[in-house]
Amino acid sequence: MMITVMLKNTLRFFLLSIILCCASVHAEISFPLKQGAVTDQIGILSPQSFMRINDKILALEKTKGSQIAVLIIPTTAPLTLEQYANQLFNHWRLGRYKIDDGVLLLVALNDRSVRIEVGYGLEGTLTDLTTKNIINDYLLPYFKQERYEQGIEIAVDALIAKIKQEPLPAIDNTQFYIAKNPTDFRVIDIIAAIILGTCFYMWAVILFKLLKVSPLIVSILLVIILSITGYFGGFDINTCNGLQLGDEYLETNLPYWVQELLLKILPSWMSVLMIFSVFLVSSFLCLGLLGILIVIVNKWISNAKLKFSITIGLFSGVIFGLMAAIHSDSLIYGVIFASIITIIMGVLCYISECISTKLYRDSNWDNSSQDYSSYSSHSSSSSSSSSSSSDGGGGRSGGGGASGRW
């Protein structure tokens, strides 16, 4: 009876969480992850055409610095073509920092629409009229014949030819810039601050302990390491320290101040040490969180199965809730998702525990029944005074640009 009431209340809370989640949904567009120079989410480009277009764009970026991105999607709904292109351009941060020499070629196949979005740095050469002509002369004629590969490739060639005519600033490989917007503040900023703060505190404690044990030797080593770092320009915060994230997801989602800290402010060896510390501290924080949950559950819950189920549910809910909050950039989504995962995992663990206990008891009961039957038959055969056997019983318990259409 108690289990039935608990399951009913759990189901009610689960349904309430879903209703709140649906009620809190707002118009938030999830843009696709940029996959190099060309992102084809429909598959209309052959591998050969894909490679040719990609190589041409990368060659331009290597020699000129400008960045062209091609995106092919089914539709831009619920946004208009112009809204989607503008927001995606800013989301992907196309072009070089403070030069803004990026171009986006967006194709919405099911909408039969195409747009060329141009960065501020190229509006002098890729004017609205120029992009309109490229669409009308190259893209639309081929798209009307469903020759999408040829149209996109010729349009990219035209864009590259125009960009090469623009007197853009030379490529400076030592120039430091971050694609992430410095004004963005999200949930991941708070989590990163906690983890990095813990890392710095950990190394400060280690260094303090070492100085107390061997102050002279540790001081000499610190002076040598810092002198060598300074001699090779490790403390020059005006240029990059030589490290690169090498992953577009990190470049897009990692907070600006974290990227600046790891790629600019800290020397390269300190950044590598800090990245290693982040993984170490994150693991210990997860274990510490699990320990806190276990202590709390042990204090308030006495039933072993319920205790185990709640602990697993809470731990899973917190981990997946943090991931959801970071991905959606919303604490509300994170809390709701954590609640749902906690309930689901807790109920599943409790049911599995009850089933396994029931199966274990059934197995023991069958074994004991067989032993009892064997014993009874042996007793009746050996006892001449017993002319009949008695039956026994038992109980069981177990829970900016141009657009076009074709």
Spatial CB neighbours of 75, under 8 Å, sequence gap ≥ 6: 108, 110, 111
- Band (pLDDT 50/70/90 cuts) for residue 52 is very high
The terminus-to-terminus CA distance of the chain in angstroms comes to 65
Bridge partner list, 334: none
pLDDT at 148: 94
pLDDT at 23: 40
How far apart are alpha carbons 221 and 257 in whole angstroms? 29
Mean pLDDT over the full length of the chain: 78
Assigned fold of 38-164: Diaminopimelate Epimerase; Chain A, domain 1 (3.10.310)
- In this structure, how many other beta carbons lie within 10 angstroms of the beta carbon of residue 104? 24
Question: 262 or 399, which is more confident?
Answer: 262
- Cβ atoms of 328 and 28 within 8 Å: the answer is yes
Q: How far out from the chain centre does Cα 210 lie?
A: 38
pTM: 0.51
Most confident listed range (7-16, 121-130, 388-397)? 121-130
- Cβ atoms of 347 and 306 within 8 Å: the answer is no
Q: Above 90 in pLDDT, residue 167?
A: no
Spatial CB neighbours of 191, under 8 Å, sequence gap ≥ 6: 322, 326
Instruction: Return the HEC string of 6-29.
Output: HHHHHHHHHHHHHHHHHHCCCCCC
- Band (pLDDT 50/70/90 cuts) for residue 22 is very low
Spatial CB neighbours of 241, under 8 Å, sequence gap ≥ 6: 234, 263, 264, 266, 267, 268, 271
**For the segment 100-112, what is each residue's pLDDT rounded down to a tens digit?**
899 999 999 999 9
Q: Above 70 in pLDDT, residue 115?
A: yes
pLDDT at 317: 82
- Please name the amino acid found at residue 350: Y
How far apart are alpha carbons 255 and 261 in whole angstroms? 10
- Cβ atoms of 81 and 403 within 8 Å: the answer is yes
**For the segment 255-276, what is each residue's pLDDT rounded down to a tens digit?**
888 888 888 888 888 989 999 9
Question: 337 or 398, which is more confident?
Answer: 337
For 93, 263, 299, the CA distances from 295, given in Å and listed in that order, are 46, 40, 6
**For the segment 184-243, what is each residue's pLDDT rounded down to a tens digit?**
777 788 888 999 999 999 999 999 999 999 999 989 999 999 899 888 877 877 677 777
* DSSP state at residue 31: P
Q: Give residue limits of the domains in the chain.
A: 38-164, 187-285
For 68, 181, 293, 352, the CA distances from 177, given in Å and listed in that order, are 18, 11, 42, 52
pLDDT at 388: 37
Q: Above 90 in pLDDT, residue 38?
A: yes
- Band (pLDDT 50/70/90 cuts) for residue 369 is low
